[in-house]
């Protein structure tokens, strides 16, 4: 019941806040719950502008000043720690260069939390103008009908997208329309400990590329209390293993030709992958450290495991963490033997423009998006984080060249992105219940690992559960 209490409390608290805001802005903006009411939006925008103004000026002048106030764009994001610092830098650079726009960045917790806050704010005016949503939230964002596709701005602006990476745009393109602008994009790579490879008599310049080779390498690496590998039980990896075999995760062209109605988790691709993964753990050449990539990362940096899977977004942290201890190698995500097609799906997140804000505010948000997509901005973002640039032009920037020279590991992810041929499988699956589906998949992997169910059974049950969730979702989206 506590959760229920919370839910009732939130709108009340926000309502209270709104009243306070309106009061201190000396403005009678009525806080109605009518989404999409433009007049109301304008009133609230001025209320906001006024509140900002009262911080520095007296009320009466604020009323006359508000016409010349810069347009305020509220950006919700989920970048914390080092990534958060990089974001703050980007925003302050933009604000300095654009006096007519004021972007205010708000960290709203992890992707899940931020999306939940957005859902709670959708029927009021308290939400952002621009939000960063993880890739698997895309279908929800489209179905919510609460956003303006960036394609509208691209068309109005005749904005040139030819320099942007086609493979990245592919994920966020539905019915030939780009719905959101990719911002931070990643894919999974195999990290391995070159020193351990040498000690085990393996060639550190020839990392394993197939399931079979991974097993052989892991066998050689497992000795003296060290383990060959550990892959976190993370649904994202399963999705990537599917794409890497050119297999689709959902029916209807991965939910891209029409809304998906069925999960294909229990197809051959899934069984092959889980059988291999379980075999690694059963034959004691890989450790099961649970669901958190943080835990596998710690073990990898402590030199306790020889190989691990992780996002490219962790590259900087891993390379820096291993400094002075061992040399980090990076390689493509492994494939089953004899598979040639397929590639990786773009992970990370993209930026969505909400449609319940004034046209001016949406335009300002678009201006900020364009700035973030510029080669120089993407170059800075890339070298500070490990996310790869969304524009090919960024590779011409000197800082990127220098970075590639000193950290050749950064090249792996980029090569893997460029080696991927776009198909429904590598565009990535689209479903509204993705966050739940991920957890169901993780549960199934766990069940198979500890022998509660055999591999096929675990995947069958999970596929059935996801299919049911999809059915319910499709019933409620009109």
Partner 1 sequence: MNTTDAGIALRSGRRMRSRRRSLPAAWKETGVGYLFMLPSLLLFAVFLFYPLLKSVYLSFFLTDPRGRVAEFVGLDNYTGLFGSPDFWNSISITLKFTAFTVPAGLLAALALAALTHVKTRGMRLFQFIFSLPVALSVSTASVIWSMLYHPTTGTLNYFLSALGLPPVQWLTDPSWALVSVSIMTVWMNSGFTYIVLLSGLQSIGDDIFDSARMDGSGPIRTFIQIIIPLLSPTLFFLSVVSIMNAFQSFGQIHILTKGGPAGSTDVFVYSIYQEAFVNYQFGTGSALSLVLFAFIMLLTFLQFRFAERKVHYH
CA distance 177 to 119: 23
Between 323 and 475, whose beta carbon lies closer to partner 1? 475
For residue 388, which of 94, 161, 187 has the smallest C-alpha distance?
A: 187
Stretch of 45-53, 255-263, 318-326, 438-446 contacting partner 1, by CB under 8 A: 438-446
Least distance to partner 1, CB of residue 436, Å: 5
As a whole number of angstroms, the longest Cα–Cα distance in the chain is: 78
Question: Binding of partner 1 at residue 165 (CB under 8 A)?
Answer: no
Out of 61, 80, 88, 439, the only residue in the binding site for partner 1 (CB under 8 A) is: 439
Name every residue whose Cβ is closer than 8 Å to that of residue 132 and which is 6 or more positions away in sequence. Answer: 75, 76, 77, 78, 79, 111, 114, 183, 184, 349, 350, 351, 352
Q: Site for partner 1 (CB under 8 A): which residue of 212, 213, 295, 374?
A: 295
Q: Taking CB under 8 A as the rule, which mask of x and - marks residues 218-247 in contact with partner 1?
A: ---------------x--------------
464 lies in the binding site for partner 1 (CB under 8 A): no
Q: Which residue has the tokens 């650079």?
A: 93
Task: State the DSSP code for 346.
Answer: P
Neighbouring residues of 459: CB distance < 8 A, sequence distance ≥ 6 = 265, 266, 270, 271, 274, 444, 448
Q: Does 460 bind partner 1 (CB under 8 A)?
A: no
Site for partner 1 in 401-430 (CB under 8 A): none
- The footprint of partner 1 on this chain (CB under 8 A) covers a number of residues equal to 49
37 contributes a contact to partner 1 by CB under 8 A: no
Q: Should residue 469 be labelled a site residue for partner 1 when binding is judged by CB under 8 A?
A: yes
Q: Kindly report the CA angle at 29 between 28 and 35, in degrees rounded to 5? A: 160
Q: How far is the CB of 470 from partner 1 (least distance, A)?
A: 12
Q: Does 82 bind partner 1 (CB under 8 A)?
A: no
Please choose, out of 21-29, 73-81, 116-124, 171-179, the segment that lies near partner 1 by the rule CB under 8 A: 116-124
Say how far apart CA 449 and CA 281 lie, in whole Å.
8
Give whichever of 253 and 290 is closer to partner 1, judged by the CB atom.
290
x/- site string to partner 1, residues 118 to 147, per CB under 8 A? Answer: -xx-xx----------------x--xx-x-
Structure tokens at 458: 């675990």
Q: In this structure, what DSSP letter does residue 335 have?
A: B
Q: What does the buried/exposed string (b/e) look like for 330-346 if buried means 16 or more CB atoms within 10 Å of the residue's CB?
A: bbbbbbbeeeeebbbbb
Structure tokens at 375: 């080669």
| Among the residue ranges 48-56, 80-88, 284-292, 394-402, the one whose residues contact partner 1 (CB under 8 A) | 284-292
User: For residues 151 and 141, what is the distance between their CA atoms, to the nearest angstrom?
Assistant: 15
Is residue 431 within 8 A of residue 255, CB to CB? The reply is: yes
Question: Closer CB to partner 1, residue 103 or residue 349?
Answer: 349
Residue number with CB closer to partner 1 (122 or 220): 122
Q: Which residues bind partner 1 (CB under 8 A)?
A: 1-5, 7-9, 12, 112, 116, 119-120, 122-123, 140, 143-144, 146, 233, 287-291, 295, 298-299, 302, 304, 432-433, 435-436, 439, 442-443, 446-447, 449-450, 452, 469, 472-473, 475-478
């Amino acid at each position: 019941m506590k959760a229920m209490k919370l839910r009732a409390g939130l709108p009340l608290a926000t309502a209270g806040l709104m009243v306070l805001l309106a009061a201190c802005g000396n403005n009678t903006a009525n806080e109605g719950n009518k989404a999409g009411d433009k007049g109301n939006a304008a009133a609230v925008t001025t209320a906001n502008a006024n509140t900002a103004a009262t911080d520095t000026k007296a009320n009466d002048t604020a009323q006359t000043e508000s016409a010349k106030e810069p347009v305020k764009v509220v950006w919700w994001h989920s970048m914390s720690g080092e990534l958060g610092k990089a974001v703050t830098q980007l925003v302050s650079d933009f604000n300095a260069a654009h006096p007519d726009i004021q972007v205010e960045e708000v960290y709203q917790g992890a992707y899940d939390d931020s999306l939940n806050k957005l859902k709670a704010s959708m029927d009021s005016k308290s939400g952002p103008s621009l939000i960063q949503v993880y890739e698997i939230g895309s279908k929800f964002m489209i179905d919510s009908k609460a956003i303006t596709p960036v394609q509208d701005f691209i068309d109005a602006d005749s904005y040139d997208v030819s320099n942007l990476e086609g493979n990245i745009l592919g994920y966020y393109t539905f019915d030939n329309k780009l719905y959101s602008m990719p911002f931070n994009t990643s894919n999974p790579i195999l990290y391995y400990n070159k020193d351990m490879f040498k000690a085990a008599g393996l060639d550190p310049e020839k990392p394993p590329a197939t399931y079979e080779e991974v097993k052989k390498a892991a066998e050689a690496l497992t000795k003296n209390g060290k383990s060959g590998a550990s892959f976190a039980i993370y649904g994202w990896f399963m999705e990537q293993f599917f794409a890497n075999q050119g297999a689709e995760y959902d029916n209807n062209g991965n939910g891209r030709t029409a809304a998906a109605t069925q999960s294909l988790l229990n197809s051959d691709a899934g069984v092959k992958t889980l059988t291999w993964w379980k075999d690694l753990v059963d034959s004691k050449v890989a450790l099961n450290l649970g669901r958190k990539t943080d835990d596998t990362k710690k073990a990898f940096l402590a030199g306790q495991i020889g190989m691990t899977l992780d996002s490219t977004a962790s590259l900087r942290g891993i390379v820096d963490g291993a400094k002075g201890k061992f040399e980090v190698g990076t390689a493509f995500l492994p494939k089953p033997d004899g598979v040639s097609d397929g590639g990786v799906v773009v992970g990370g997140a993209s930026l969505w423009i909400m449609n319940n804000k004034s046209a001016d505010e949406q335009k300002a948000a678009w201006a900020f998006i364009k700035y973030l997509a510029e080669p120089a901005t993407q170059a800075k973002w890339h070298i500070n984080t490990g996310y790869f640039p969304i524009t090919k032009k960024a590779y011409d920037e000197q800082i990127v060249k220098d970075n590639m020279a000193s950290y050749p590991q950064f090249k792996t992810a980029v090569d893997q992105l460029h080696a991927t041929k776009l198909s429904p499988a590598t565009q990535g699956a689209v479903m509204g219940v993705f966050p739940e589906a991920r957890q169901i998949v993780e549960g199934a992997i766990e069940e198979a690992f500890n022998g509660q169910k055999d591999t096929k059974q675990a995947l069958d049950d999970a596929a059935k559960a996801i299919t049911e969730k999809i059915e319910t979702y499709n019933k409620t989206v009109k």
